[in-house]
Amino acid sequence: RYGQAEEEDQVGTATGLAYTSAGGDTLAIEVSIYPGKGKLTLTGKLGDVMKESAQAAFSYIRSRAEELKIDVDFVEKNDIHIHVPEGATPKDGPSAGITMATALVSALTGRPVRKEVGMTGEITLRGRVLPIGGLKEKSLSAHRAGLRKIIIPADNEKDLEDIPESVRTDLEYVPVKHLDEVLEHALMGDNHESK
């Protein structure tokens, strides 16, 4: 059922955590790649901040293509589409930054995303992970969805004390400072060769 952890490890899909006035929710970030001219398409009723966040994630990846074992020519000869279902629900904010980056790297390298992992954190153009809001509500929704491991910005560690004991002990929290750490925890196996 939608709003649950993925049933299988997936290539090109990562699970984010959203926070609105109505509470927390999980967010599937989907990435699709097909022959094109390097265009980036963003859909899912995304606000400007979330769109800019996707652009930052994509630029970071392009500028670090070699280290990430991504073929630069591949990026220039394909179009990339990032979509966030459910299409009628407005979404915004920078906190899906590392989730979009993870889904992109997964799609571009073929490495599956571990299905039990959720994540939240703003990404910068150098891959730094910045703090986010609503960690408590996001944790509750991650717990409800059956996720096991939650990647969070190191600067949010101080907020863990506000999360109910029962939830905090069920979830494994992984505080990170850089996208490199996110990818290490979220992606399976080593780098396959770039598609």
Rounded Cα–Cα distance for residues 54 and 68 (Å)? 17
At position 148, the amino acid (one-letter code) is R
97 binds, among Ca ion, a copy of itself, none (CB under 5 to 8 A by kind): a copy of itself
Rounded Cα–Cα distance for residues 67 and 74 (Å)? 15
Of the candidate spans 16-24, 73-81, 135-143, 165-173, the one that interacts with a copy of itself by CB under 8 A turns out to be: 73-81
Q: Answer yes or no: 139 catalytic.
A: no
Select which of 91, 106, 115, 138 is catalytic.
138
Contacts of 185 (CB under 8 A, 6+ apart): 114, 117, 149, 151, 174, 176
Radius of gyration over every alpha carbon of the chain, rounded to an integer in angstroms: 15
Draw the binding track, 2-41, toward a copy of itself (x: CB under 8 A; -: no contact).
Answer: x-------x-xx--------------x-xxxxxxx-x--x
Using DSSP, state whether 18 is helix, strand or coil: strand
Segment 21-60, which members bind Ca ion (CB under 5 A)? Answer: 25
Rounded Cα–Cα distance for residues 25 and 33 (Å)? 26
Draw the binding track, 120-149, toward a copy of itself (x: CB under 8 A; -: no contact).
Answer: --x-xxx-x-xx------------------
Report the 10 Å Cβ neighbour count for 22: 8
Nearer to Ca ion, 162 or 184 (CB): 162
Rounded Cα–Cα distance for residues 170 and 165 (Å)? 9
Q: How far is the CB of 169 from a copy of itself (least distance, A)?
A: 27
Nearer to a copy of itself, 130 or 167 (CB): 130
At position 35, the amino acid (one-letter code) is P
The footprint of a copy of itself (CB under 8 A) covers: 1-2, 10, 12-13, 28, 30-36, 38, 41, 43-45, 48-49, 52-53, 55-56, 59-60, 62-63, 65, 72, 76, 79, 81, 83, 85-88, 93-94, 97, 122, 124-126, 128, 130-131, 155
